[in-house]
Amino acid sequence: MKQFILLISFCFFSIFQVRAIDNYELGARSGGVANASVTYSDVWSSFHNQAGLGMLKDISAGVYIENRFLISDLSIKGFAVAVPTDKLGTFALNYTMYGGSLYNEKKAGIGYGKKLGEKFSAGIQLDYISTYIAEDYGSRSAFAVELGLLAEPIKNLKLGAHIFNPNRAKAAEYADERIPIILKFGASYQFSEKILFSAEEEKDVDQDGVFKAGLEYHVMEVLFLRAGIASNPTLSTFGFGLKFNQFTVDMASSWYQDLGFSPQFSLAYSFK
């Protein structure tokens, strides 16, 4: 049974070109738009683009869970806390765990974002990453850095850029294995108070790029509907969000035709 679960995990890596250690994107709002969220500004910016933290005004906290293909050993769990200050910018703590008892990846990050003028912000994060494989393989750990930029050159148009692990942290001594460098660049446009469109390109320097695009529709004061697509592999996503005063509840799922659904749930609270 243990060997079967490990085989499933490695098949998943192969099909989806998942890196041996990945930079997982948390938040079901983002998941609903295929993670085309490098320009978003919310508590989940600490997983997508730390520059978005600089735009926050309220202390926020959130929890997240994703059950990939309804297989518990491929699940992703995590949380984030963001604390804005009047002059120093926004500080954040976040944590991610992917996998189960036989194989898992963990990442703990300390992030920071600051608004630099009315239409520009920048962010940085230091990550501690560890990987564990059962059957006497053991664990490895490393430190990585993340950098992000966010700009609004004209009204309603935002541009975002993010790089994960520019320092090329070493994952293992064997074959000089390195944690991947992942680049993202994207844009979003607010067509009206109800419609937000976003698109981005993600590129692992050692793999083909991934294109992602999504649409968020603000149906009414408390309800948001979302849909998205992604390439390499081809995925479709959908979801919705409910906002009640300080609480925000988001649910989403991606769909891959050969393996099925990957439901996601996140809950966030803003201390206004």
Domains of the chain: 2-259 (2.40.160.60)
Mean pLDDT of the chain: 90
Residue 142 binned pLDDT confidence (cut-offs 50, 70, 90): very high
Q: Give the residue-averaged pLDDT of 98-123.
A: 94
Q: Give the residue-averaged pLDDT of 234-262.
A: 94
Asked if the model's pLDDT at residue 175 lies above 80, the reply is: no
Asked if the model's pLDDT at residue 63 lies above 70, the reply is: yes
100 contacts 72 by C-beta, under 8 angstroms:
yes
Residue 133: predicted pLDDT? 86
Q: Give the residue-averaged pLDDT of 85-109.
A: 94
Phi, psi of 70 (to 5 degrees): 60, 30
111 contacts 124 by C-beta, under 8 angstroms:
yes
185 contacts 160 by C-beta, under 8 angstroms:
yes
* Tokens linked to 161: 């850029």
Asked if the model's pLDDT at residue 15 lies above 80, the reply is: no
What confidence tens digit (pLDDT) does each residue in 50-59 have? 999 999 999 9
Helix segments in the chain, DSSP class H: 2-16, 28-32, 45-48
What confidence tens digit (pLDDT) does each residue in 195-225 have? 999 999 999 988 899 999 999 999 999 999 9
pTM here? Answer: 0.89
Residue 8: predicted pLDDT? 52
Residue 101: predicted pLDDT? 82
Asked if the model's pLDDT at residue 141 lies above 50, the reply is: yes
Residue 16: predicted pLDDT? 46
Distance CA 254, CA 260 (A): 8
Residue 37: predicted pLDDT? 96
